[in-house]
Chains A and B, each alone.
Chain A
């Protein structure tokens, strides 16, 4: 191999490549809400010149911002994870009628196998339902290329274009080419087109016809675009595939003939018919739903797909190979060995831990939400009883109490993070107040959108670029929507918090507790050298209070027979706890719980 120099190639993730492609395509405005696996697109795009970027409070708003920018003639991008498109579905379906002026691209990042999601959904179905073209790249290089195609297509066909990636495109790194930024020929300015932009029934009925006419043109285009391409090979087997599945097919069956669909909606019917006629046997290889297969079978073309290929979870080369060719497995596999699991955990010093410790001890029903604090479900805290979607915790608690009766007021609390509260919790809180809920809400306010990697939100006081921004006053907001009892607590003071939670839960009116302490991963906190807490082993009586916090910095050391007395403990003591000074982040929750003066801050004893 010839040695390369660093500047001849770029090696980027799919998300970085999308940011690059969007920038090269002259994007003017980009808005998104962080969500794995889509988050890094906005993070990278915010580093480029000539594009306005922002974090929106939710995906619906992000898309609406992008629609506005497009109406003004700017190329606009909205990014979100798959479930985010559910939130944005409302503007999406009508934007399909209006189209835009500047190219409008909506990026949906699906998560087959649910690496970090609450469901597994195939957002190709949105393209079909909303009657919109959808492009699907297979790797980072195509990701860059397809963003540019999507913007051009959007302007050519007067339509929003959906760009769908999956985890194995977003978080895969590969070799990517680069180019210059090309500004769109459209100059953003005010232009009034009420017949196109005002979807009152009379006008929407006319645009409805445009949608059909556009689908016809899109179908015709799908027949000729170079990214719907046949890769000729052995005609015994033909594969129709798209997205990352294409790579698995190429690796498993490099000799086969393949129709790779870069546009998965609408489909090129003639191209598919010609391809089917040219091969002996036709296979459809796609992740999740039989989306292509259903359409191809509806064309009356015999093919095999989901009868062989799983419809649940991710595919890989081995699955594809085995499904199509069961006799050809290359290796015999070792079986796995049973090991203690290693689940993700809240960080040492995480402010959420103290609240969940209290809720767990108080045996309350905890209506939960989506964020780092969803990890409060895991042992030893086991302090979360529901997780459905962003913003659901508050209305679900309200619904439960209404179903059970007022006695449930003292048994049900809801928890939500600051970012999730702003995303879609506020409307739920308004509803609870308006309809006379008395369930307590705890806002776990760590000043940041932590789970996806510390993105700022309207309550953080900074913008996507880290510049100062107006910080949303959560206390004032809660009071403004009608909450009479709003209290702010320090979650690290565990016994004090329990007292306050108890008082508020017993109240017969809606109350909000804001548990406020910063995320320990905030860059400014990470830079500081934390002081460690230490265990004074002589004083530890092995009560396990601190152990039950489930802090990664605290570990339990069981005592062997006779060891208790040798160490000067009571004979009955089973073990002692110890704090790892490297991991400790100086929150002091354990010290606030220890009744035996065994945990101190500062120098080791």
Chain B
């Protein structure tokens, strides 16, 4: 007997606002009445390292960890980080990917190359890729630091939560002085996610 839990994997680079994005998503799912557990690893990956957050929701969630092969949706904040956790995905998984590239140290120092056509690794395996230029959306919204909320907008399309619940959660949890920018970024991200 398998549980009916749904699994969302957040992946990206330290400093991109991944933890806030996963919090907003969790709060929306909680507000919608689900049991939600989230696991993250702090410490060595605070800055520039590979960062993940694992979120699970359903009627009753036991384990805080997503099993390999069981992520239904992956929210990737950076292109290469969309592919790093491939063993967590399965045929039919959806991957929402921010088209931004952040160079790891070996690439920045000229020791390695950033992989070309990296997203094809996903589509080749029957994974649905939804590409979002979150940086452009955030700039358009008037604050580049709202890229993570734009991505939450794109992710919100995939979740059994009313759009209005997300609006309320964002209003409650983002800094007041960037509220307008965040709401704009969320709306534009949601549009990008619908495409």
- A residues apposed to B, CB below 8 Å: 1-6, 9, 11, 36-37, 115-116, 139, 167-168, 171-175, 244, 247-248, 250-251, 254-255, 316-318, 330-337, 339-347, 378-380, 451-453, 521, 544, 547-548, 550, 552, 554-556, 558, 575, 582
B142 close to chain A: CB less than 8 A = no
CB distance from B95 to the nearest CB of A (A): 12
Residues of B within 8 A of A452 (CB): 43
B81 close to chain A: CB less than 8 A = yes
A332 to B111, CA, bound (A): 34
Stretch of B84-92, B150-158, B175-183, B186-194 with 4 or more beta carbons under 8 angstroms from chain A: B84-92
Residues of B within 8 A of A167 (CB): 41
Q: Which residue of A lies closest to B1 (CB)?
A: A254
User: Given A4-B33, A254-B1, A552-B105, is A344 in contact with B165 using a C-beta cutoff of 8 Å?
Assistant: no
Residues of A within 8 A of B89 (CB): 334
Select A115's contact among B41, B48, B64, B110, beta carbons within 8 Å.
Answer: B41
Q: Are B45 and A171 interface neighbours, CB within 8 A?
A: no
Q: Are B42 and A11 interface neighbours, CB within 8 A?
A: no
Q: Are A345 and B105 interface neighbours, CB within 8 A?
A: yes
CB-CB nearest 8 A-B residue pairs: A116-B43, A1-B33, A344-B49, A331-B69, A556-B110, A36-B43, A172-B64, A555-B108
Number of cross-chain contacts by CB at 8 Å:
188
B40 close to chain A: CB less than 8 A = yes
Q: Are A173 and B83 interface neighbours, CB within 8 A?
A: no
A335 to B88, CA, bound (A): 9
CB distance from A576 to the nearest CB of B (A): 11
Select A116's contact among B42, B108, B172, beta carbons within 8 Å.
Answer: B42
A134 to B176, CA, bound (A): 44
Select A255's contact among B1, B46, B125, beta carbons within 8 Å.
Answer: B1
A524 to B41, CA, bound (A): 26
User: Given A1-B34, A3-B33, A4-B31, is A171 in contact with B42 using a C-beta cutoff of 8 Å?
Assistant: yes
Residues of B within 8 A of A331 (CB): 68-70, 90
For the complex with contacts A254-B3, A342-B50, 9 further pairs of A-B residues with Cβ separation under 8 Å are: A168-B65, A174-B38, A247-B62, A318-B68, A341-B106, A342-B48, A343-B104, A345-B47, A552-B105
A325 to B57, CA, bound (A): 25
A535 to B184, CA, bound (A): 34
A452 to B46, CA, bound (A): 9
A251 to B37, CA, bound (A): 13
A11 to B90, CA, bound (A): 29
Q: Are B67 and A250 interface neighbours, CB within 8 A?
A: no
A339 to B80, CA, bound (A): 8
Instruction: Give the contacts of B86-123 with A (CB-CB under 8 A).
Output: 86-87, 89-90, 103-115, 118, 121
Q: Are B43 and A115 interface neighbours, CB within 8 A?
A: yes
Q: Are A337 and B107 interface neighbours, CB within 8 A?
A: no
Q: Which residue of B lies closest to A550 (CB)?
A: B105
B27 close to chain A: CB less than 8 A = yes
Residues of A within 8 A of B63 (CB): 247-248, 250-251, 316-317
Residues of B within 8 A of A554 (CB): 108
Select B165's contact among A3, A339, A556, beta carbons within 8 Å.
Answer: A3
Select A247's contact among B14, B64, B86, B113, beta carbons within 8 Å.
Answer: B64
Residues of A within 8 A of B90 (CB): 331, 334
Q: Are B36 and A175 interface neighbours, CB within 8 A?
A: yes
Residues of A within 8 A of B125 (CB): 334
Residues of A within 8 A of B27 (CB): 6, 11
B128 close to chain A: CB less than 8 A = no
A139 to B61, CA, bound (A): 11
Q: Are B39 and A171 interface neighbours, CB within 8 A?
A: yes
Q: Are A344 and B46 interface neighbours, CB within 8 A?
A: yes
CB distance from A222 to the nearest CB of B (A): 24
B32 close to chain A: CB less than 8 A = yes
Q: Are B105 and A317 interface neighbours, CB within 8 A?
A: no
Q: Which of B63, B110, B111 has the most CB of A within 10 A?
A: B63
Q: Are B110 and A575 interface neighbours, CB within 8 A?
A: yes
Residues of A within 8 A of B47 (CB): 344-347, 521, 552
User: Given A37-B43, A247-B62, A255-B1, is A4 in contact with B105 using a C-beta cutoff of 8 Å?
Assistant: no
A171 to B33, CA, bound (A): 22
Q: Are A3 and B44 interface neighbours, CB within 8 A?
A: no
Q: Are A11 and B64 interface neighbours, CB within 8 A?
A: no
A451 to B125, CA, bound (A): 39
A183 to B37, CA, bound (A): 31
Q: Are A556 and B64 interface neighbours, CB within 8 A?
A: no
Select A4's contact among B2, B32, B43, B70, beta carbons within 8 Å.
Answer: B32
Q: Are A1 and B64 interface neighbours, CB within 8 A?
A: no
A255 to B26, CA, bound (A): 28
A139 to B35, CA, bound (A): 13
A556 to B110, CA, bound (A): 6
Q: Are A343 and B105 interface neighbours, CB within 8 A?
A: yes
Select A173's contact among B38, B104, B110, beta carbons within 8 Å.
Answer: B38
CB distance from B195 to the nearest CB of A (A): 26
Residues of B within 8 A of A379 (CB): 105-106, 109, 111
A318 to B39, CA, bound (A): 16
Residues of A within 8 A of B37 (CB): 139, 172-174
Q: Which residue of A lies closest to B47 (CB)?
A: A347
Residues of B within 8 A of A330 (CB): 2, 67, 69-70
Q: Which residue of B lies closest to A340 (CB)?
A: B112
Residues of B within 8 A of A6 (CB): 27, 31, 172
Q: Are B36 and A11 interface neighbours, CB within 8 A?
A: yes
What are some 14 contacts across the A-B interface (CB < 8 A)? A1-B33, A4-B31, A116-B42, A175-B30, A317-B62, A339-B115, A339-B118, A340-B112, A342-B48, A345-B105, A453-B42, A547-B110, A556-B110, A575-B110
Q: Are A344 and B14 interface neighbours, CB within 8 A?
A: yes
CB distance from A60 to the nearest CB of B (A): 22
A36 to B111, CA, bound (A): 32
Residues of B within 8 A of A337 (CB): 83, 86, 121
B75 close to chain A: CB less than 8 A = no
CB distance from A495 to the nearest CB of B (A): 21
Q: Which residue of B lies closest to A556 (CB)?
A: B110
A84 to B3, CA, bound (A): 38
Residues of B within 8 A of A116 (CB): 41-44
Q: Are A334 and B106 interface neighbours, CB within 8 A?
A: no
B13 close to chain A: CB less than 8 A = yes
CB distance from B70 to the nearest CB of A (A): 7
Residues of B within 8 A of A173 (CB): 26, 36-39
Residues of B within 8 A of A251 (CB): 3, 62-63
Q: Are B48 and A339 interface neighbours, CB within 8 A?
A: no
Q: Which residue of B lies closest to A345 (CB)?
A: B48
Residues of B within 8 A of A37 (CB): 42-43
Residues of B within 8 A of A248 (CB): 62-63, 65
Q: Which residue of A lies closest to B13 (CB)?
A: A342
Instruction: Give the contacts of B1-18 with A (CB-CB under 8 A).
Output: 1-3, 13-14
